[in-house]
């Protein structure tokens, strides 16, 4: 059974860089037709898709977030990662990693990690 | 930016039918998906490709589509169905995944 697990700091100071890692188990991150996504959910609000990476390393992002986010993949560790620079309080949210099923218009998310709450505060 | 619109809340009694709508101008040309989220948990896919149910999702969950509105129907609602429900699709150019604002289903 596929499992995804986010890891990273729960507290980040304003203007610093947030780094999160998602470890995939029970399946290969190189499997087709799957992509790997980061999604965040501010407290009391709906989910917001951030961006997606393919096992080849190609990425695409929500246009309004593209400038501050980086997503990378490490197939040898079966992991993918998210970096967010210059965080502010508006970036406080639960961050989820998810498996994205490709080939549809649009793709969808069939397996999610449990999520990790990231708070931006000094 | 493109938006999917859902009612903030829907209330039903146990055993009744709950219908949750999601509207968006691009929906006639896109698949829609539905997720259930209970407090403290990650979203769970309950409907994909407008009307398909993933393995393990009860038959009382169904989806339909008509023009710019898609609907999640839960027949014979049970107390355990109380949750937030989110629709998901994409913008016209398929460049951005979009989630609806969510609907809180209350089982009275």
Asked if A69 is an interface residue toward chain B (Cβ–Cβ < 8 A), one would say no
- Of all residues in chain B, what percent are helix, strand and coil, respectively (each to 5)? 5, 45, 50
Asked if B30 is an interface residue toward chain A (Cβ–Cβ < 8 A), one would say yes
Residue ranges of chain B with per-residue pLDDT less than 70? none
**A49 neighbourhood in chain B, CB within 8 Å:** 96-99
pLDDT at A103 over 80: no
Distance of alpha carbon A73 from alpha carbon A53, whole angstroms: 7
- pLDDT per position as a tens digit, A29-66: 999 899 999 999 999 999 999 999 999 999 999 988 88
**B49 neighbourhood in chain A, CB within 8 Å:** 104
**Structural contact between residues B48 and B62, judged by C-beta atoms closer than 8 angstroms:** no
**A106 neighbourhood in chain B, CB within 8 Å:** 30-31, 88-90, 94, 97
Burial call B45-68: b when 16+ CB within 10 Å, e when fewer: bbbbebbebeeebeeebbbebeee
């Amino acid at each position: 059974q596929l499992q995804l697990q986010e890891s990273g700091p729960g507290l980040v100071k304003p203007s610093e860089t947030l780094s999160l890692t998602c470890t995939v188990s029970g399946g290969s991150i190189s499997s087709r037709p799957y992509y790997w996504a980061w999604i965040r959910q501010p407290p009391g609000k709906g989910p917001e898709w951030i961006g997606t990476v393919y096992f080849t390393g190609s990425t695409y992002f929500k246009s309004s977030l593209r400038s501050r986010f980086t997503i990378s993949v490490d197939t040898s560790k079966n992991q993918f990662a998210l970096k967010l620079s210059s965080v502010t309080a508006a970036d406080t949210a639960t961050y989820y990693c998810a498996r994205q099923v490709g080939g549809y218009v649009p793709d969808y998310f069939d397996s999610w990690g449990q999520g990790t709450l990231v708070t931006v505060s000094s | 930016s493109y938006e999917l619109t859902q009612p903030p809340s829907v209330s039903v009694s146990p055993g009744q039918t709950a219908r949750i709508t999601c509207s968006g101008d691009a929906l006639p040309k896109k698949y829609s998906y539905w997720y259930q989220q209970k407090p403290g948990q990650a979203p769970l896919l309950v409907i994909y490709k407008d009307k398909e149910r993933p393995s393990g999702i009860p038959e009382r969950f169904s989806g339909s589509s008509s023009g710019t509105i898609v609907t999640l129907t839960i027949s014979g609602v049970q107390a355990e169905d109380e949750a937030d429900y989110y629709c998901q699709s994409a913008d016209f150019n398929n460049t951005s995944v979009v989630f609806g604002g969510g609907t809180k289903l209350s089982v009275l």
